[in-house]
Structure 1
Amino acid sequence: MPLPTPGLDDRTFQSIVDEAKRLIPRYAPEWTNHNVSDPGVALIELFAWMSEMVLYRVNQVPERLYTHFLNMVGIEPFPPSVARADLTFWLSAVLEAPVVVPANTQVMTAASAADGADAVVFSTTEELVIAPPVLEAAQTVQVAGTVDNVWEDLRFGTEGVRAFASPQLSPGDALCLGFHDSLAGMVIRLVVEAQAEGIGVDPNRPPLAWEVWNGGGWIGCTVHQDSTGGLNRAGEIVLLVPVEHAPSTVGNQAAYWLRARLLAPLPGQPTYQASPRVRGLSVEALGGTVLAEHAEQLPGEVIGRSDGTPGQSFVVSRTPVLPRRTGEHVLVRDGDQETIWREVEDFSLAGPDDRVYVWDGGSGIVRFGPRVRYADGTVRQHGAIPRDSARIEVSGYRHGGGVRGNVGARTLTLMRTTVPFVNAVSNLGRASGGVDAETVAEAKERGPLTLRTGQRAVTVGDFERLTLEASPEVARARCQAAGPGNAHVQLLVVPQVRREVGEHHLDDYAISPSLMETITAHLDQHRIVGTAIEVSTPYYQGVSVVALVHGDPGRPPALVQQRAVDALDRYLNPLIGGADGTGWPFDADVNAATVTQLLESVEGVERVEEVLLYEFDLRTGRRLGAARDVIRLDRQSLFLSAAHRVVVR
């Protein structure tokens, strides 16, 4: 039962009129006509009606008071999330000495003079060392388990080395190259001497994968360029090595391994009739890849002087401010004495001598401890107060964040920081993860849920709410039991995708390692001891719609077709799909009847003649099976729109 809502003033129109009439003999005894027809009584009723309207407004909780209440209990909007991208730095020449790209190296986009947009600045998060690779081992590994050391044959042999040693060329055969140091994040060039023995293969798409060991398994490298036709002729192979590369042992030899693995051919893809033979191989470093984030490093600045009063606040010049790193803090300079104060989330546990402050990232406001009067009349100072006239400084901070940082591929091309021997930089993939700060409306909706549960993860709703609170990059969360009892729960997370709906791909809905770490760390703080949490993504079931519609006379068929496809893309979408536009619901099937109704509502469609639904493999890009009237969805899946075909007559 909800708590009864008290009325601040329970007077009604009639009670106000009666009260005013009772006061007439006291203040105007000569007024004796109290009938409704009297002009004075008409004025009383008019003002009583106006007073009743005012009382109605008083009895409603104004939004201003509601917002102030959330501020008092510490509910503040989440700061923006930072977009991240991998930046690839290219050397001006092949060098014999290491090249260091320092942390916080800044790269930016070109400013657009047409729309007046400022350049977007990214900064590297860690130091990148581009060192000449040292190749020191070579092994051929067969699927059957046979390992042969071919290092001497590769260096000095006249016939070279068969890359895939099995006589029948079994998928999984590999040529492994061992390096003295890690190649993590590097761009390397393999200069290959080979002869055309691996006949039968398409040189533009050979069944070949380049992989490195990351400590838990083999992960793929990106082939930037391959002029060898799949190790079939002399040429160069440029590889972008992932940022993870760990040592391993192959054939009783420890090294950092890179391998070329034979793949099973895809349908319609030709494969090798014989193993290619490598006669010589050398490796050079062309560049390196490092993670960067949408952030601009700003120097220290003076933000004000203390007046010696409690609850002071100061604001930095650039907002929003990103979460502070080591070395980013507030300094209080009193004369010749300089002290570093400590940042805290709030002042609830701070004593009067604790040198602490709260720094709000969204607004950039630095606050010092307030003085609070408690119900028993006592007054307590939460946090020390900087001395009067003391100078308040920040040692430095990073500015950035928001959807503005989700720039496209190959747009971060201008180096704001000069690095010797580096002549070019680019982001080969698009940036992702940038989300704007939480709006006031969203904070108001979240506030009561936070107060109701006390930050404990007990129910299914608690886990879902805490997952959404973990990061603005989380769009949806679904919690369900993953095993017997309540000790094991599974969380299905749908991340934010900041692209046009028609451009959404399966890989856009993968959880990035940084987001996974953020979610698991946040849930670990609030879960009950003994509760195991599994965080994963839903299974995305592709749906392809084939429809035959008739357009209104005079409407361009191409325009009607595009509108119909756009409507299908929006409807079958995990983020904005479904009947209410909040994302396709879990456990909800799709049927041809609802799709027909959707297409009939599209502007320019006169009638829908036929609708067919197909399951779609999002990896291979093919329809699966025959057409259906209904496609079922299990409790761990969501629909994702794919490859619709709409014919307009």
Structure 2
Amino acid sequence: MTVPAPRLDDLTWDDMMAAIRRRIPAESDGTWTLHAPADPGVTLLELFAYLLEQRLYWLDQAPDALVIAVLRLLGLDPPRPARPAATVLQPAARTDTAAVPVVPAGTALSRDLMGRVVFTLDDDVAVFPLAEGGEVTVWTDRDRTADLRARRDVTLLASDGAPAQARFTLPLTGELPAPGPLSLLVELAAPAASAPSWLPGATAGVPPPAELTWSWFRPDSDVAGEFEKVEDGTAGLRRSGVVRLHPPPGWSTRDTGLLVSTRAATYAAPPRLRQLALNVSAAHHRLRRTARGTDLAEQITAWLKLPGQHLVLPEAAGLLLEATVRLAGEVWLPVPDFTFGASADRTFLIDREEGAVVFGDGLTGRIPRPVPDVTDDYVTDDCVSVDYVIGGGRTGNGGRTANWQPAWDAPGEQGAVSAANLVPAEGGQDPETVAAARQRAAASLGEVTRAVTADDFVTLARTTPGVAVARAYPSLGEHPGFPCSTVPGAVTVHVVPSVPRDDFTREDFVVAPQPDPGTLCAVAARLESARLLTSEVFVRAPAYREVTLRVDLSGDPADRTRVSTVVGMALRRFLDPLVGGEEQGGWPFGETLRPSALLRAAQRALGDLADVAAVAIGLDGADATEDCDEVELRAGDLPVLRAVRIRTVPAVEPGEGLV
């Protein structure tokens, strides 16, 4: 039962005056006889009751400044500012020379004619010439170009720990040197927990699942080599990202071959490629501007030595994201609020709606003084400078388009650069309100930050940033160094990674998912920082036990091939570590294998096709010979189905065998 929140301002002025009048005779020993409003004493009591009523109303009203201060005291973020959307742009530049053109970082491009939504490139883009109608060719075990063209996921590398490689041929033309790195968009079919590198929610510093080597070669020749530097936004093909490859001297656009290889493909599941594109850069919905003294002269000259001064920045109303102010050579920095500021702090607030920077009151934040060289009609550019960023918000989110053009006020010739965004623009958010921040703070009280109980270990492991963990099982007392003993304080957490379960018949389907080394390191680091001082935590892969089943079918099914396929797929799914079990959330760790449960699963899948008479179970390579025998698993063990043998037994007629 939820306790209702108390209302503190439920005492009205009338209630207070009625109570006060009742006490006057006793408090005055009967000497105060006139209790009418005409009496000056009653007038004062009415005034005090009015003031008290206002104070009682304030008890239920927490001002925004107080809420922000409490959030900071709790170590939580204050109301979060607007966040810019992000995408990946592929610019095309017009050139009249034989050199490869370079579109510089910070180039402003807009997807609408009015230039209301402007994105800027994060990096320089060398726009290498591409063959007309050319496409990237992909070769793994065979030519996969047609699959990539049809937007079907292409399996790049294996997940068996053996050496693996994938080759690409880029549609480059000519024989031109590289003025900058080759920039590639590598879009993968990755879990949601592994956010693409260009989105705001991407996690930095996640260990790669496998060590990759990027190299180049010239088709139909022996010319080959490695790149001088690799900036891998995919974190080893763990997520979608932009890869920037810096060619060595002597490389030219004749060297169109690209090779990615690894000595040990230790992926939880083979990476699946959805798109590979050249000449790209991440871009964000933001635009940098600078306002100088001449732009702000009218406001500066009107300043007095009073609190609450502010500067309204040009074209920033409703769009202001960031700002840095320089007054008379001194740098002023933004703060979320003035609550913990001192009188000499050169700080200010950002007012997104007004598009202004707001200064302090002299007690919590310094009051800006007009600089000495400011006169009534003249302000130099050197005395005041504001560098600010506009953009952000949900307006930047959108789909894929190919009509990006330079912003109308961007320098340079209009039409010299165009672009297309190869992925949707996502991640843009409006500023968080104080009410939303309060709700976030309340929700954070239930977040798990320390590993105390077994459920805490599960929650922390599954929510490790940057890696996709589907399941976790804490084995209390299990120590890898003492496998036959229970060690107090030791906890071994077995993790199952999130891998595709969309099609059990795919050739790259992983039956027994093993976490990659990077995932184990990331989970171990998270649990190490959250464990109790007396605990010893280990992170391991689950122990898979091979299971062989024999299914006896009663009678003679009409379509034995179909029956065998249906039974095998049903039991494979039922014992699956991610979608198996009665709850379809993965076979429980250490759950006993019972023939009756397997029989029910097989019969549900078969329906009227055939009748299942019995199921026998064999473990760890043993033949399934005995019916009705349950097979126990150790804590932390999971089954993996290796074989299903179908056997037909004579049908038993009703009443047969009865005496």
Which TM-score band applies after superposition, normalised by the shorter structure?
0.3 to 0.5
TM-score using structure 2 length: 0.40
Higher strand share goes to which structure?
A: 1
TM-score using structure 1 length: 0.40
